[in-house]
Structure 1
Amino acid sequence: MSTKYKAATTEEAYFITITTVGWIDVFTRLSQKYTIINALRYCQNNKGLEIYAYCIMSSHIHLLCKATNGFLLSDVIRDFKKYTSKKIIDTIVEEPESRREWMLDYFKKACEHLKRNQQFKVWQDGYHAEVVQTNWFIKQKVNYIHFNPVKEKVVSNPEDYYFSSARNYSGLENDLEVEVLYLF
């Protein structure tokens, strides 16, 4: 398997994008967004995940992050995806969801080709990871992450999007603490 876009080292920070299969808009409900927030918080507290920037869009998540305390970022992301897959399916089944049957059918069909026994597949295989090497790259990626909801016309200003670290950088209320980088 290619390591071109994988978190293959232990010391660097990475810009990571994790995407749902078929770019399905899973994160349109608050409960699904909080599934991600709670899982990221768990990874921060228990798996050495240090988050510098994040944004939860409807079909994908952007992170600027690093694994610490001897943890491998690839293992943290693997565990995050495994846990959130189960929680996302549980939420679709248990809570009101107008697209329930369609989503469950799609996630079921997405894993038919897999050799391992799996009932649902929520996330695309792997994830896109780019190693952080310069302050210019950090600034570019933090801006990209924070302006993603603006580009998609969800909000007019980055700090208005609640599920983004743009709020942390603006000193506003948020549900996920991040390590604010003072490069701006």
Structure 2
Amino acid sequence: MSVRKNIAEPNGVFFITLTCARWLPLFKITDGYAAVYKWFDYLKQQGHHVSGYVIMPSHVHALVAFSTTSKSINAIVGNGKRFMAYELVRLLESNGNHDILRQLAEWVNATDRMKNKKHEVFEPSFDKKECYSLRFMEQKANYIHMNPCKDGLAILPEDYVHSSARYYYTGLQGVYPVITYLELQDIDLSRSQALKGRDE
């Protein structure tokens, strides 16, 4: 479901999709995968947990367990999108991708332009599904990990670098360390567990 309305739940496990504007492959063009990992770092510092992810050329799928904090889940995701947008624009500028920057500028609607928004880097809304059961989490984790194979970017899920599949399939952490959805069972998401610098 594409959402603009607030997520009422203060915590929970969510399957989230963030899509680049008009499906442009901005992560690939900029080699901007680190922007997503920096956002994941921030989530962990705030006591949340990354349980699965894949960064595709034009979008990100993530399985995130949000603990209760002072910020709403919508605000957390919205702030993450803003941070990643700034990072991707910075990379486009430093790489001299002026045509793409002009395109992103043209896509900003009049209302946002009045608020001084300069580039439309992501689609305005994000997709989310709350994961109520282990079976649903497993289904979403499998979907995440098979995404590169379906798009012809990898033969085996664990071969795609920007994914948590390696940990799920081999037990070895990949580029970014995660915990599995099974490990989430031991975590109480109703209480903030933020520990600055803690590595999950």
The amino acid that maps onto 1:112 is N
Equivalent residues in 2 for 1:29-178, closer than 5 Å:
29=29, 31-45=31-45, 47-70=46-69, 71-95=71-95, 100-115=97-112, 116-169=115-168, 170-178=170-178
The equivalent of 1:22 in structure 2 is 22
Root-mean-square deviation (CA, aligned residues, Å) is 2.1
Give the conservation status (yes or no) of the 8 Å contact 1:7–1:131.
no
Which shows bigger deviation, 109-118 or 54-63?
109-118
Give the conservation status (yes or no) of the 8 Å contact 1:66–1:73.
no
Shift of 1:4: 8.1
SS for the counterpart of 1:61 is strand
Deviations 1:139-174 (A, max 9, x none): 111000000000001000000011001012122342
The amino acid that maps onto 2:51 is Y
The amino acid that maps onto 1:101 is H
SS for the counterpart of 2:27 is coil
Distance in 2 separating the partners of 1:4 and 1:126: 6
List runs of 5+ in structure 2 lacking aligned partners: 184-200
Give the conservation status (yes or no) of the 8 Å contact 1:19–1:59.
yes
The amino acid that maps onto 1:174 is G
Shift of 1:74: 1.5
The equivalent of 2:196 in structure 1 is none
Normalised by the length of structure 2, the TM-score is 0.81
Shift of 1:5: 7.7
Shift of 1:137: 1.1
Deviations 1:86-127 (A, max 9, x none): 1110011113x6xx1221011101113334221111011120
Distance in 2 separating the partners of 1:4 and 1:162: 31
Deviations 1:58-95 (A, max 9, x none): 11000111221524321211111111111110011113
Normalised by the length of structure 1, the TM-score is 0.87
Give the conservation status (yes or no) of the 8 Å contact 1:149–1:161.
yes
Change (3 A) 1:142 1:107: same
Change (3 A) 1:59 1:43: same
List runs of 5+ in structure 1 lacking aligned partners: none
Distance in 1 separating the partners of 2:30 and 2:173: 16
